[in-house]
Amino acid sequence: MAVYTHLGAEDLASLIATYDVGELVSAKGIAEGVSNSNWLIETTGADGAGARFILTMYERRIELDDLPFFLGLLDHLSAHGAPVPRTIHCRDGDAYQLIDGKAVALIEFLPGVSVDQPTPAQARAVGAALAEMHRAAHDFPMERANTLDIGESLRVLQHCGGNALATVDPALPEMIDHAARLSAAWPQGLPQAVCHTDLFPDNVLMRGSSVTGMIDFYFACTDAMAYDIAVTHAAWSFDKSGGRFDRAIGRALLAGYESVRPLDPVERQSLPVLAQGACLRFVASRAEDWLETPVDALVTRKDPMDYVRRLHFYAEAGDNPFHPAAD
Amino acid sequence: MAVYTHLGAEDLASLIATYDVGELVSAKGIAEGVSNSNWLIETTGADGAGARFILTMYERRIELDDLPFFLGLLDHLSAHGAPVPRTIHCRDGDAYQLIDGKAVALIEFLPGVSVDQPTPAQARAVGAALAEMHRAAHDFPMERANTLDIGESLRVLQHCGGNALATVDPALPEMIDHAARLSAAWPQGLPQAVCHTDLFPDNVLMRGSSVTGMIDFYFACTDAMAYDIAVTHAAWSFDKSGGRFDRAIGRALLAGYESVRPLDPVERQSLPVLAQGACLRFVASRAEDWLETPVDALVTRKDPMDYVRRLHFYAEAGDNPFHPAAD
């Protein structure tokens, strides 16, 4: 939540001049993005009627080689009707350019706000939007491997080590064995597409019960669509601590998804395992961040146990949370 | 540079509903404000044509008792034609309200960007805008003492102590004596008004060579208008490190000011001392922050020596930088 690089008005004005979007009117650094800096930019617009954009500077983690995938995906999805911001190309046609060795891209601004406490109607709309995204992504010609799959979660937890994990919480070390079991039993051969894999409420813009935008595709990769559903289910259907599952939200999310793209039986059967794997991804990254963040650093560490609790819920509930008729 | 408090879409929507500004369309936390959280808010507007605002949540430092002064000042200055955002009052007429014990206010959004490397034409416009602000503030009925005056700078430096200051830079401890001398020689009886006292480039919005907004009045207080000029002169007329004075910028700033409100001879004579006092204020606050900030904290500490160098320049140059004819 920060702007890592200072871009002065002069830098911004000359950058904006490379696009056909009119002149710079206003620029505010926005407190979004963990690994990049973002500005909300207003210009006079190509037609003089005013226009707004998100300018993103990629600070770290994102490999330059991946940018054509991420930015091309936005173009593909928005062109196919998914509520996703398109990439603005500069006059030369480039989707990104370099400033002081860092890549920057101009992205369409979409209205809407991120909800904290979704209603079933909102969850249903999010499920439908995810399915629309999967459908729109189907003929996207590029591929990207999931670098944060169950194998990587296992490696991260092993690398932290049981002793260090125990300093965070006594129940954390057993996640290593859990990850090993899940990795061995991971479903293979499920239908794939480009997946968002990080569709938290923060990454969905809504107005009322309509999805106006899905954003932050920087974990997007080619994976099982059912895994993307599992991530979204785990991210939306619980209170913050993961202690309370909201059946109505989970059910609405799945129903919304299936209103656009029905699941096949093998996908549905795999959801309990995929959901545990989704939880483990966040357990692993949060545990690693927790152990690497100095105690007196001025950033809030996210508790990995929030996702251990979700994982236990999924492990115990079996396929019950995913059956439309179950109660 | 952060958003300290999370406000969900639901909190924001019910807050916005207390104002006559239409419905919430979009909200982005912005990376501005050291002691408060800010959001750039878009609504449908009272007339349906769309409107934008800055929502500020006062997190610390600002005393609730001071808010009527700060927010009333914005109303007074904007009503008197100064380029200052007005306060939006809620339907009940209140300028601020409390959420979870923290005050929040809705402020007009003004376009423009902050320049890094001002041109003389821009500096002239800023000088003129400052004078317009002083003129507009003249009949503002409220007063607020300057809590960061030269006496306070002296106290802060003494409280840090020479030994601690020397750990930052060997040339820093002598600032204690310098502050004591300035405090004893501080000009009295200069013409007063409400002053901004923090008019850095960050706090001025411009389009081209026009000032579209002066913002962040949370250090505003009743003080000598010449002191406000001195702060602005020190903040605008040097490179970042304070090592190089830009005579053309300093001269344009003063000329712009005097195009609206000519200085009287006593004010002009006092500028060298006031400018050193202005520098000491930033030396003191930066030194205190430097010593209080852990070395491994994820925030950038501002070097107090940037303002020690400015102070030395003013101490050695005498009234030369402030004479329109000098070169």
Over its length of 327 residues, how does chain A's per-residue pLDDT go in tens digits? 456 678 888 889 999 999 999 999 999 999 876 678 899 999 999 998 899 999 999 977 567 889 999 999 999 999 999 999 999 999 999 999 998 889 999 999 999 999 999 999 999 999 999 999 999 998 999 999 999 999 999 999 999 999 999 999 999 999 999 999 999 999 999 999 999 999 999 999 999 999 999 999 999 999 999 999 999 999 999 999 999 999 999 999 999 999 999 999 999 999 999 999 999 999 999 999 999 877 666 567 899 999 999 999 999 999 899 987 544
> How is residue B19 written in tokens?
């104002």
Min Cα distance A297 → chain B (Å) is 5
Q: Which tens digits make up the pLDDT trace of A245-255?
A: 999 999 999 99
Nearest CB neighbour to B29, from listed A10, A27, A30: A30
Judged on CB neighbours under 10 Å (0-12, 13-18, 19+), B293 is middle
Distance in angstroms (rounded) separating the CA atoms of residues A304 and A307: 6
What's the whole-number mean pLDDT along residues B8-26? Answer: 93
User: Residue range B108-116: average pLDDT?
Assistant: 95
Give the pLDDT band of residue B137 (cuts 50, 70, 90).
very high
Considering CB atoms only, which of A32, A115, A299 is closest to B10? A115
> Residue A56 pairs with which residues in a beta bridge?
A38, A105
A9-108 and A120-322: identical CATH topology: no
Cross-chain Cβ contact A112/B10 below 8 Å = no
Instruction: Look at residue B3 in the predicted model and tell me its pLDDT.
Output: 66
CB contact under 8 A, B8 and A298: no
CATH number of A9-108: 3.30.200.20
Report d(CA B12, CA B27) in Å as an integer.
Answer: 8
Inter-chain residue contact A116 with B9, CB threshold 8 Å: yes
Q: State both tokens at A225.
A: 């669509």
Whether residues B30 and A25 touch (CB distance < 8 A) is answered with no
CA separation for the pair A144, A69 (Å, rounded): 7
The pLDDT of residue B146 is above 70: yes
Domain ranges of chain A: 9-108, 120-322
CB contacts of B2 in chain A (<8 Å) are 1-2, 31
Structure tokens at B233: 């002169």
Residues of A in contact with B206 (CB under 8 A): 9
Chain A residue set in contact with B, beta carbons under 8 Å? 1-3, 6, 8-13, 24-32, 40, 42, 111-117, 205-207, 294, 296-299
Task: Spell out which residues of chain B touch residue A40, defining contact as CB-CB under 8 Å.
Answer: 28, 30, 40
Out of 3.90.1200.10, 3.90.226.10, 3.30.830.10, 3.40.50.10490, select the CATH number for domain B120-322.
Answer: 3.90.1200.10
> Cα–Cα distance between A17 and A26 in angstroms, integer?
14
Q: Do B13 and A297 touch (CB under 8 A)?
A: no
Provide the number of CB pairs (under 8 Å) joining chain A to chain B.
99
Set of chain B residues whose Cβ sits within 8 Å of the Cβ of A85: none
User: What are the tokens at A192?
Assistant: 């794939």
Percent of chain B with pLDDT over 90: 83
| B20-24 long-range contacts, CB within 8 A, separation 24+ | B20/B46, B20/B91, B21/B45, B21/B46, B21/B51, B21/B53, B21/B88, B21/B106, B22/B46, B22/B47, B22/B48, B22/B50, B22/B51, B24/A113
Q: What is the rounded (10 degree) CA torsion for B218, B219, B225, B227?
A: -150
**What rounded mean pLDDT belongs to chain B?**
93
When CB atoms are compared, the residue of B25, B29, B115 closest to A9 is B115
Q: What percent of chain B has pLDDT over 70?
A: 95
Contacts B32 to A, Cβ<8 Å: 28-29
pLDDT score recorded for residue B61? 58
Lowest mean pLDDT of A21-35, B67-81, B113-127, B198-212, name the range.
Answer: A21-35
∠ Cα B16 B21 B26 (to 5°)? 60
> Band of the pLDDT at B1, cuts 50, 70, 90?
very low
Q: Which residue(s) pair with A27 in the sheet?
A: A41
Q: Do B29 and A24 touch (CB under 8 A)?
A: no
Q: How many other CB atoms are there within 10 angstroms of residue A50's CB atom?
A: 13
Contact A3, A38 (CB under 8 A): yes
CB contact under 8 A, A115 and B8: yes
Q: Give the tokens for residue B156.
A: 């802060």
